[in-house]
Chains A and B, each alone.
Chain A
Amino acid sequence: MRFEEIVFIFGRFGAVLTNCSKAPMKDPVSDDQFIALLLASQNRIFRFVLSLVPSHTDSEDLFQQTCVTLWQNRGKYDPAAGEFSSWAFAIAHNHVRNFRRKESTRNNVFVSLGDALEGVLVETREAHCSTLDEWHSALTHCIERLNPKQRSLLEECYGAKASLKEVSHGFGYSPNALYKTLKRTRELLHDCVRKTVAEGGTV
């Protein structure tokens, strides 16, 4: 996509925002404040969605839908009623449920943890939000401690539009070998973030 097209998308979206911002506000949170809240919580919301729908593309789509819904309903957000994240999680959870419903009617394959467990996980996430945030903050530090090859692999596997199979083929790995390497790297990072936070953190 060319630079002019980026500007076009930006301009078009800006127009939508302008129209949205004319909606009546029922609460004291201004658009600026709302966006600040949204920006501060976006990563938390994304992690929430992905923990329920681990597929890359589906979780990205659901995250975007959630952000749009949050923006469209910003007038309903009441800071006195609770944390912004809790409100956002509830909306994200609705999107996840709708997604599941639609996917099941299309007979698409997906793995669901089940309503009961999902509910418990949502409660656990809210109760341990600060710990999980700390672990996430430590992730940057832990990624920096990986060797170049490990980081390159993460970049390709997570950043590329290609499937793991295509990535593995492109670099001469078997899919299974790539999967195992990726799994080992995730485990290293998991150990590292917990250890980092337990030891007082470097972030």
Chain B
Amino acid sequence: MSLWNPTELRELADAYVAGSLDAEKLQRLQEVLLAEEQARVFFLGYVDVHAGLQWKAQRGELDVAWLAEEAKKTDGVGGAVAAVGATSHWWRRGRVLPVVTSLAAAVLVVLGVLRWITPVGPEVGSGEAPALLTVSESLHGSLLDGEALQIGRQFSAGPLELRSGLVEFRTASGTILLLQGPARFEILDGLRGRLYSGNLVVRMPKGRSGFVVETPKMRVTDLGTEFGVAVADGGESQVQVYEGEVRAESTITGGEKRLKAGQAMRSEKGGGLVEDAASPNSFVRRFPPPAFPTEPGGTLFNTSVVEVVQVAVASTPVVIDGDLSEWTPAKPFQSACAPPYHASYFVEGRMMYDANNLYLAAHVGDPDPMCNRAGGIMDFAGGSVIVRVSTDRNLGWPLKGSQLDAHNKKAPPLPDSVSQRVTSLILSYDKSAEQPRLRLQHGFIFTPSAGPRPPEGWKGQFRMDTDGRGYTLEYAIPWRLLNCAEDPPRAGDSMAALWMVHWSDANGRVCRGQLVDVTSPQSQARGISPTHFFLHGPTWGRAEYLPVR
């Protein structure tokens, strides 16, 4: 009997080519393809459609310029698509092919050099787009009144006050402005803006120049480049050049200097300009990868730096109130997303234990804290901390189990793969219910806990940072819920553990990024993406249970 059906396999194949295959679907795809040759041929046929389309598109064989008029007649949107297609790929027709006449040119085509021959994006005439700025990306971007900035929102000349987040704007001429909140900015015309406070990065298309950023004390004129401008509350201004060159003028003294890539300058109180130390991470220059298509857990943003968490004995009663003042015995570990996101997205984790409970605490940097509105098995995606631990010392370290092994139909799975003492603790703040939440899963099959749901007997508390850009969580979880009440971890134990942090969009539903840490130093050599470490016990780090001090 066949193990696959074409509809399901095509769904899986499409997720594969679209890059949206999660761990569960990947597992299913592997099962189906390994089982039957007919399924593999079907799959390859589908993937080849995707490949064929890419092949043809990269070589201009999908060019639809001639269809523009027809499409306009039949459909407004289609017409717009075709019209842009007609202007954006001029190089595919006519001008390049005559060059391709020799042996070398034939290989030139083979090597796909043509794909590098890319024009600057299509011009948009000012008459067609009266707005000066269009939001092209937004990461938690919100205006002063709290309105979340949506992609496509347009702004004409005037002030713009960003309360928080990171927002990418494009001007009609293709200039990119990356504004990091909080910031006050005013767009004056297509080539001029005024920054009153905050950080702004300006990036012009290749071959163009002339964008001017005015600040209270400085005027910066782009000479074909990428540069950042920062204005502090008092109006003190700084400019840093990343590529090309700018001209910086003091609006107070009239002094003028030219800066090249790697140079920085700031205004003094009197208005004079002085050289400043350049720092590569002073400005956010690039946007995180888009969330679409993505994995359910979001894009990975960190490199693991922690192998071991020390689990201290709770020497005094732990009050679960979100205040970690009694956590002094616990040595915290720190992990953060890669620059430039490290200042806003980080975790400081702690673990403690006693005869009755496992205690978990974390301070998480999060520009949109405690807004989780996700539910069900995707509850983690709205913002969460997941701690995965083994509490069975007989399994030792490293864990040998994995999800693949747990589902192995040809041989009995390893004890590690199905142990009910390997537990995932999903800690999140349920914004809808305004209360902390705990979900437990066991083994690498991730079976829910037996008994009542949600589990009973645990305590948890969240506390938002005073500046609203992070939160602290504190939990006490009885060993009973981890299926080891009779034999809980004790001093000297060293067992597997893994920490994951998820950050969501401003609505608390879609995961935008994640951090994975407390990992085995050998994990990188295994060829497994860290986003899938939770499925592979050998990649987990360790929790070392300390004796009483």
| Contact (Cβ within 8 A) B44 A132 | yes
Which residue on chain A has the smallest CB distance to residue B72? A148
| Contact (Cβ within 8 A) A14 B102 | yes
Of listed B45, B46, B81, B103, residue having the most chain A CB within 10 A: B81
| Residues of chain B with a CB closer than 8 A to A148's CB | 64, 67, 70-71, 74-75, 78, 82
Q: How large is the interface on B (under 10, 10 to 19, 20 to 34, 35 or more residues)?
A: 35 or more
Which residue on chain B has the smallest CB distance to residue A34? B107
The answer for the CA separation of A151 and B108 in the assembled complex, in Å, is 27
Q: Is B480 an interface residue, CB under 8 A from the partner?
A: no
Please, what's the 1-or-0 string for A82-122, where 1 marks a CB less than 8 Å from any CB in chain B? 00000000000000000011001101111111101100110
Assess A114 versus B81: contact at CB under 8 Å? Given A17-B107, A158-B53.
Answer: no
Stretch of B298-306, B457-465, B499-507 that contacts chain A: B298-306
The answer for the CA separation of A68 and B113 in the assembled complex, in Å, is 12
| Contact (Cβ within 8 A) A169 B152 | yes
| Contact (Cβ within 8 A) B47 A51 | yes
Q: Which A112-152 residues have C-beta < 8 A from chain B?
A: 112-114, 116-117, 120-121, 124-125, 128, 131-132, 135-136, 139-140, 143, 147-149, 151-152
| Contact (Cβ within 8 A) A189 B104 | no
| Residues of chain B with a CB closer than 8 A to A193's CB | 45, 49
Interface of chain B: mostly helix, strand, loop or mixed: helix
Q: Is A24 an interface residue, CB under 8 A from the partner?
A: no
The answer for the CA separation of A112 and B21 in the assembled complex, in Å, is 10
Assess A132 versus B49: contact at CB under 8 Å? Given A6-B96, A154-B57, A190-B10.
Answer: no
Nearest-Cβ distance from residue A109 to partner chain B, whole angstroms: 5
Q: Is B95 an interface residue, CB under 8 A from the partner?
A: yes
| Contact (Cβ within 8 A) A50 B71 | no
Interface of chain A: mostly helix, strand, loop or mixed: helix
| Residues of chain A with a CB closer than 8 A to B34's CB | 116-117, 120
| Residues of chain A with a CB closer than 8 A to B40's CB | 120-121, 124
Q: Is B450 an interface residue, CB under 8 A from the partner?
A: no
Q: Is A80 an interface residue, CB under 8 A from the partner?
A: no
Q: Which B221-255 residues have C-beta < 8 A from chain A?
A: none
Nearest-Cβ distance from residue A44 to partner chain B, whole angstroms: 10
For this complex, 14 residue pairs linking A to B, each with C-beta atoms less than 8 Å apart, are A6-B95, A46-B54, A47-B55, A107-B303, A120-B34, A121-B44, A128-B44, A135-B48, A148-B78, A149-B74, A163-B290, A171-B80, A189-B53, A190-B46
Which B residues contact A (CB, under 8 angstroms)?
A: 10, 14, 16-19, 21, 26, 29-30, 33-34, 37, 40-41, 43-58, 60-64, 67, 70-71, 74-75, 77-78, 80-82, 84-85, 88-89, 91, 95-96, 99, 102-113, 115-119, 136, 151-152, 290, 292-293, 295, 299-300, 302-304, 524, 526-531
